[in-house]
Structure 1
Amino acid sequence: MHELAVCTVEVEGAVRLDGYVREFADGVMWIGSQNLVRGFTEGERVVLRVLDDQRGECVYGGVVGRMSADLLGCAQVELLSTLQKRAVARVQVHVECEGWVRFPDGADVPDDEAADIDPETGERRRRFTVLDVSAHGMRMMAMTALPIGSLVRFVFPELSEAFWLHAEVVRAQPSRSGTHYGCQFRDASPRELDDLFSYVLRTQGALRRQQMLSRE
């Protein structure tokens, strides 16, 4: 269980090791790390905080057992709490996207070229940059105006499976580089939400590992 999930090991509220779950069975959890495993004492009590793409954040208590240069074994591991992080887990990205926008009724619509308009749906083609994403929404930047209530339909290229995402613009904030728009995903299926949440946690784990390597 939890194999390859991102994990931190804490002692008295301070993170002492960043890594991932290599194996967890029969009350023993093995945490692998690209950092040198050091500073632990056999029998020391620790808190193991695991980010699992299916179960959310799982917090365990345990005691330090065996150690090697890149592996920490903890015994007597017991679940303390769980927290579903779908609503709050978010990762910063910079992904160029292209999609279709349907403006709300009564909104001021810019005069676009006919080639940019879908003749069947009336949607307008737009390019934008996704700046951060969660399982429930995203923040993006666009050079063209998107009124509040606009509906954006697009495929997020970073996901393992291609499917249409539908996002509603709920707020806007001007910046020097372009307007930032806060959007909420609409009508996503449970499987699509799972894919988004898994992507967020995978990307968070990859960024954390890069930061760990840069500090070595």
Structure 2
Amino acid sequence: MHELALCAVETDDRTVLSGYVRTFEDGVLWVGTEGLVRGVGEDETYLLRVLDDARGECVYQGTVARVSGDTVAFVEVELLSTLQKREVARVAVSVECEGYARVATDDDAPGAHTPDPEDGDKDADEIRVTFTVLDVSAHGMRMMSQTVLPEGSMVRFVFPELSDAFWLQAVVVRAQPSRTGTHYGCRFVETSPRETDELFRYVLRTQGALRRQQKLA
């Protein structure tokens, strides 16, 4: 069960190890990583957040029985909660996008862009933005941009990875600075059921491609 599903090992509300489920049989859940295991100790108890295409997000509690190179064995595994897959299915990507943003009024946001009156055929209060989508789900995305976008700002763009070209609208709900640019958590708004389904299918297709790559590695 859960074979190759993404898995995050957490403690004290922080992720200490990211990997995938190798096997989950007879009460033992083996988590594999791409490198050597660090940050977990034997006999310690952790939360295991598993993202499974078929079952959604499954949160377990388990105790480390063995750490071996790039794998960790958890025993006494207990299911704590589940969420439907459509709500949580998310995939890591790196997609360059261009679009337009309506910047929320925020006097405390230094360096915020002002509207560009030369944007012609676009709304006067919109500015051009470029950004990189870092992960995406049917209901939102995380992106990185050099543009200052206070919470409440609206971004509209066409996601080039979709087979059907349509405009997406997203509202910025949180921001986290980084060395290369600010990471923004965004929620899609005013998406139709057809558009939501198209996003969800894209997430599942991309997850499947990543799993196939893992098998071949």
- Shorter chain as denominator, the TM-score bin is 0.5 to 0.7
- CA deviation map 1:167-190 (0-9, x unaligned): 000000000000000000001111
Structure 2: distance between partners of 1:206 and 1:119: 37
5+ long unaligned stretches in structure 1: 1-7, 17-49, 59-81
Post-superposition offset of 1:111: 3.9
What is residue 12 of structure 1 aligned with on the other side?
26
- Closer, same or farther in 2 for the Cα pair 1:175/1:83, shift >3 Å? closer
- CA deviation map 1:66-109 (0-9, x unaligned): xxxxxxxxxxxxxxxx9631111110000000011012245565
5+ long unaligned stretches in structure 2: 1-21, 31-51, 57-81
What is residue 163 of structure 1 aligned with on the other side?
166
Length, aligned pairs only: 147
Which is bigger in relative contact order (C-alpha 8 A, separation at least 6)?
1
- Closer, same or farther in 2 for the Cα pair 1:152/1:198, shift >3 Å? same
Conserved in 2, the CA contact under 8 Å of 1:86 and 1:135?
yes
- Closer, same or farther in 2 for the Cα pair 1:119/1:191, shift >3 Å? closer
TM-score (norm 1): 0.60
1:138 is paired with a residue whose SS is strand
> What is the identity, as a one-letter code, of the residue corresponding to 1:129?
T
Conserved in 2, the CA contact under 8 Å of 1:168 and 1:186?
yes
What is residue 46 of structure 2 aligned with on the other side?
none
Match status 1:173 vs 2:169: no
What is residue 185 of structure 1 aligned with on the other side?
188
> What is the identity, as a one-letter code, of the residue corresponding to 1:158?
E
> What is the identity, as a one-letter code, of the residue corresponding to 1:153?
R
- Closer, same or farther in 2 for the Cα pair 1:14/1:205, shift >3 Å? farther
- Closer, same or farther in 2 for the Cα pair 1:10/1:177, shift >3 Å? same
Conserved in 1, the CA contact under 8 Å of 2:115 and 2:126?
no
- Closer, same or farther in 2 for the Cα pair 1:146/1:155, shift >3 Å? same
What is residue 96 of structure 2 aligned with on the other side?
96
Conserved in 2, the CA contact under 8 Å of 1:117 and 1:123?
no
Post-superposition offset of 1:123: 1.1
- Closer, same or farther in 2 for the Cα pair 1:209/1:166, shift >3 Å? same
Q: CA RMSD in A?
A: 2.7
What is residue 72 of structure 1 aligned with on the other side?
none
TM-score (norm 2): 0.60
Post-superposition offset of 1:9: 8.5
- CA deviation map 1:96-137 (0-9, x unaligned): 000110122455652465434655442111000000000110
- CA deviation map 1:161-212 (0-9, x unaligned): 0011110000000000000000000011111111111110110010010011
- Closer, same or farther in 2 for the Cα pair 1:119/1:199, shift >3 Å? closer
Structure 2: distance between partners of 1:193 and 1:111: 32
Structure 1: distance between partners of 2:187 and 2:177: 18
The structure that has the greater radius of gyration is: 1
- Closer, same or farther in 2 for the Cα pair 1:14/1:208, shift >3 Å? farther
Structure 2: distance between partners of 1:119 and 1:163: 17
